[in-house]
Amino acid sequence: MTVCDLGCGPGFFSLEMAQLVSASGKVIAVDMQEVMLDRIMKKVAGTKLEQRIVLHQCEDKNVGVTEKVDFVLAFYMIHEVPDQETLFNELISILKPNGLIFIIEPKFHVSKQSFNQMIAKLEAIGLKIIERPKVFFSRAIVLKYIDN
């Protein structure tokens, strides 16, 4: 599997997902801040995970990942993006058919109404809701990209 940890920060989820993907799998750890990517590199240097994690520094206006992925994790970061529609369209462009996006947003920053508006944008570009998992103090959704 190839997965994308969007807004990976210091790599909390990147490291765990790198344990889960097979030796031939990879995690693309994406963040705007070089310091966060440096932290991940220091954590994995000299370990088997070093070969499974690819660091990618995105820009202000685009993610810039071009490799096709099976899964995108966006934990507590979508609400930070000013142009969500552009982001969502970019994510669709890198998802493999039947690829999944797992979005988790903090209840203390994202109202139910805002979260529902975000979901409507995602559905409008062709993603289908497959699950609404319960995540402590969060709003969460898993969506699937079905390429017609």
pLDDT of residue 34: 96
| Confidence tier at 6 by pLDDT (50, 70, 90) | very high
- pLDDT, tens digit, for every residue of 12-71? 999 999 999 988 999 999 999 999 999 999 999 999 999 999 999 998 889 999 999 999
pLDDT of residue 148: 61
pLDDT of residue 61: 86
Mean pLDDT of 60-88: 95
* φ and ψ of 124, to 5 deg: -65, -25
pLDDT of residue 147: 76
In this structure, which CATH number among 3.40.50.150, 3.30.420.40, 1.20.1250.20, 3.40.640.10 belongs to the domain 2-145? 3.40.50.150
pLDDT of residue 135: 96
Residue 137 tokens read as 């103090």
Predicted TM-score of the model (pTM): 0.95
For the chain, which residues make up each domain, given as ranges?
Answer: 2-145
d(CA 117, CA 38): 34
